[in-house]
């Protein structure tokens, strides 16, 4: 028997006629739920407590007899993720409720026990005593394998090609410097909205998104006429089993995150994506519970068709983080397996920047500076991530980062224009699993033209490494289809 939830509490008359709902994740492969619900006392005869009870309802204490006894009444009801499973209204200080496929306690409905977030609600019909002891314990009969901790994004079906929205980006369109993961005092950040926007402008950021935890209230503070920034509406859904960023060109309708589970997450992601939201898994390999609640991605997904990007670099000085190395390795492994998913970065900006911190930014090429245009380019993958170097990539004279190119032979012409480079950096052209080309760069600017006559891979991307081998910039892929 696996314990899912337990709580003990003390109630008094101020909890009278209130409902207390507990959202509890029920895993897969549960054959029986066992719920113990207890409270005491049922009867209350203390004169002071009785007088408080009748006065609260507008009666005179004169209606009380010497032997008057009133009763506390607490009941329990249960909802599974899809429907009401029942409740029993009766006086009993020790209640045992069992639900299985074939049987259920009186007042409750037997049947399949679906995985997801269940609601267990205590209904305080009458709280008359000054100290009502109450406890709720929820257990499940379940296969232990259902509780094993998964490596993030480990159990995925075979990759499915996405239907890619083709966009036409002018090759001379500017690259926009963006920061997509920030927090304010509206959640756990230490900067006001105004302080964050001012700091972003000082860093030369053109596009900013405030992604407070489970709230968009910071956007009420905005005074856009005072800042030369394109704002993407954003929020970081912060759940017990993972965090994900949602960006949109317009107002984001918030959903109740407490209802999310592995079984319901895909429906929400699809709904958001159908509304042209950009969806990014945040810091999937962070330490997580109990060190950082929900920070590691523990949702078990069988596909990632409704996810646009993985935040592979999180925080300042991103290459010093082991969890970022794991996230980057997972992203490149997914690409090698045939998944088409973008990489993203975010400072996870909570505090003013430290003197020794080096930050990475998203660089996005969009036809204009509007939020809608930037969102389209991010979803398309017309972006690269950099802590300094600037990259312009052209393939076959007219294609660039994020494009899907139909080719009839194996000849490929690659042109790179690099700037803001550190001396002794290395430029790497990576095709699938192999290093196609590498060259050391001695100057801050360089042009590279490379031709491959035997290109057979499904994608290529660029990495730039400093003289000690740390990645300082990389692009999202260019994809190829052979006809």
Give the span between the Cα atoms of 427 and 460, in whole angstroms.
13
At 104-163, the pLDDT tens digits run: 999 999 999 998 899 999 999 999 999 999 999 999 998 765 445 567 887 777 666 555
CATH 2.60.40.10 in the chain is located at: 388-483
Count of beta carbons in the 10 Å neighbourhood of residue 408: 7
pLDDT score for 146: 44
Q: Is 85 left (phi over 0), alpha (psi -120 to 50) or beta?
A: alpha
For 29, left (φ over 0), alpha (ψ -120 to 50), or beta? left
Instruction: Identify the pLDDT of residue 147.
Output: 46
DSSP state of 432: T
CA–CA dist 185, 287 (Å, integer): 24
DSSP of 243-281, one letter per residue? Answer: EEEEEESSPPPP--GGG--HHHHHHHHHHHHHTT-EEEE
Nearest to 310 by CA among 288, 333, 293: 333
DSSP 87-115: EE-S--SEEEEEEESS-B-TTB--S---S
Under 8 Å between Cβ of 473 and 426: no
What would the DSSP string read from start to end of 359-424?
A: --EEEEE-SSSSHHHHHHHHHHT-EEEESS-EEEEEETTTB-TT-EEEESSS-EEEEEEEESPPTT
Q: What pTM, to 2 d.p., does this model score?
A: 0.87
Instruction: Give CATH for domain 388-483.
Output: 2.60.40.10
pLDDT score, position 145: 56
pLDDT of residue 161: 55
Instruction: Please list, in sequence order, all residues whose beta carbon lies within 8 angstroms of the beta carbon of residue 19, skipping any fewer than 6 positions away.
Output: 121, 122, 123, 124
Architecture of domain 2-147 in CATH? Sandwich (2.60)
Which residues contact residue 329 at a Cβ distance below 8 angstroms, ignoring those fewer than 6 apart?
Answer: none
| Domain 151-385: top CATH class | alpha beta
Q: Which CA distances in Å does 256 have to 244, 283, 293?
A: 14, 21, 18
Residue extent(s) of CATH 2.60.120.380 domains in the chain = 2-147
Residues lower than pLDDT 70 in the chain:
144-150, 158-166, 223-225
Report cis status (omega within 30 of 0) of the bond before 290: yes
Structure tokens at 376: 């389209």
């Amino acid at each position: 028997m696996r314990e899912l939830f337990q709580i003990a509490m003390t109630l008094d008359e101020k909890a009278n006629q209130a409902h207390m709902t507990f959202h509890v994740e029920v895993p897969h492969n549960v054959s029986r739920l066992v719920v113990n619900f207890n409270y005491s006392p049922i009867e209350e005869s203390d004169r002071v407590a009785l007088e408080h009870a009748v006065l609260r309802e507008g009666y005179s204490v004169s209606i009380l007899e010497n032997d008057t006894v009133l009763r506390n009444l607490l009941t329990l009801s249960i909802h599974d993720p899809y429907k009401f499973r029942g409740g029993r209204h009766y006086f009993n200080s020790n209640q045992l409720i069992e639900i299985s496929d074939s049987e259920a306690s009186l007042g409750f409905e037997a049947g399949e026990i679906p995985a997801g977030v269940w609601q267990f609600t205590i209904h305080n019909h009458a709280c008359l005593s000054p100290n009502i002891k109450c406890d709720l314990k929820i257990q499940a009969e379940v296969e232990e394998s259902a509780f094993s901790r998964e490596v993030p994004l480990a159990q995925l079906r075979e990759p499915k090609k996405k239907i890619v929205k083709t966009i036409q980006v002018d090759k001379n369109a500017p690259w926009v410097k963006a920061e997509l993961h920030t927090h304010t005092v509206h959640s756990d950040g230490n900067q006001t909205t105004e302080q964050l926007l001012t700091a972003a402008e000082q860093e030369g950021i053109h596009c900013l998104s405030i992604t407070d935890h489970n709230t968009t209230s910071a956007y009420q503070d905005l005074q856009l006429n005072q800042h030369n920034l394109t704002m993407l509406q954003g929020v970081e859904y912060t759940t017990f089993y993972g965090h994900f960023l949602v960006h949109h060109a317009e107002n984001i309708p918030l959903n109740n995150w407490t209802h999310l589970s592995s079984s319901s997450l895909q429906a929400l992601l699809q709904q958001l994506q159908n509304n042209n939201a950009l969806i990014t898994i945040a810091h999937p390999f962070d330490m997580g519970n109990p060190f950082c609640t929900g920070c590691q991605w523990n949702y078990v997904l069988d596909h990632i068709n409704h996810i646009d990007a993985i935040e592979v670099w999180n925080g300042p000085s991103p290459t010093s983080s082991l969890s970022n190395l794991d996230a980057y390795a997972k992203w490149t492994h997914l690409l090698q397996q045939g998944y088409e998913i973008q990489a993203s970065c975010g400072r996870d900006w909570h505090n003013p920047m430290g003197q020794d911190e080096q930050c990475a930014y998203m660089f996005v090429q969009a036809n204009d500076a509007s939020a809608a245009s930037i969102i389209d380019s991010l979803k398309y993958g017309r972006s690269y991530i950099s802590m300094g170097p600037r990259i312009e990539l052209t393939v076959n004279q007219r294609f660039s980062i994020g494009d899907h190119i139909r080719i009839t032979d194996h000849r490929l012409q690659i042109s790179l224009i690099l700037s803001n480079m550190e001396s002794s950096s290395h430029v790497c052209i990576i095709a699938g699993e192999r290093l196609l080309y590498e060259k050391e760069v001695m100057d801050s600017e360089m042009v590279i033209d490379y031709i491959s006559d035997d290109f057979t891979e499904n994608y290529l991307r660029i990495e730039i490494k400093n003289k000690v081998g740390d990645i300082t910039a990389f692009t999202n892929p260019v994809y190829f289809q052979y006809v």
